[in-house]
């Protein structure tokens, strides 16, 4: 039977070096051993992303609701928030218990891609 064995989100970024530093230094990602000009391949835990430099594209932050790109189900949401806070992440909200049974906070990237992190209560 055919199956999906892995995945990687692909994001357009205006400044590849800036975005790569943010993912590595602030969000705790590791650079993968893939070398392709104009691209960064990054992984943290089980989440993988490809950043592609697109200097002439509109930044995600200008796309309104279309700038939301990921929901990370995490363990230790409060600890992750504190980690990101200490490293200067662009946080949009603090951890809050939601009526749908999740404790969530939100952040964004330098280009304005929005990410929500949540843990089941």
Share of the chain above pLDDT 70, in %: 100
Identify whether 69 is part of a domain: yes
In DSSP terms, which residues pair with 31 in a beta bridge?
Answer: 42
Identify whether 3 is part of a domain: no
**CATH number of the domain enclosing 93:** 3.10.180.10
Instruction: Characterize the bridge pairing of strands 114-120 and 102-108.
Output: antiparallel
- The span from the CA of 36 to the CA of 53, in Å, is 11
pLDDT of residue 50: 97
In DSSP terms, which residues pair with 107 in a beta bridge?
Answer: 91, 115
Domain housing 16: 9-120
Number of folded domains that form the chain: 1
pLDDT of residue 44: 97
Confidence label for 57 from pLDDT (cuts 50, 70 and 90): confident
């Amino acid at each position: 039977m055919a199956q999906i064995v892995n995945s990687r989100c692909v994001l357009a970024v205006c400044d590849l070096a800036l975005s790569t530093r943010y993912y590595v230094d602030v969000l705790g990602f590791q650079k993968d051993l893939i070398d392709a000009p104009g691209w960064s391949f990054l992984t943290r835990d089980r989440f993988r992303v490809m950043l592609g430099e697109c200097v002439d594209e509109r930044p995600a932050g200008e796309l309104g609701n279309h700038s939301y790109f990921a929901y990370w189900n995490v363990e230790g949401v409060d600890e992750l928030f504190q980690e990101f806070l200490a490293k200067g992440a662009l946080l949009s909200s603090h951890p809050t218990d939601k009526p749908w049974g999740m404790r969530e906070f939100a952040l964004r990237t330098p280009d304005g891609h929005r990410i929500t992190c949540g843990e089941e209560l």
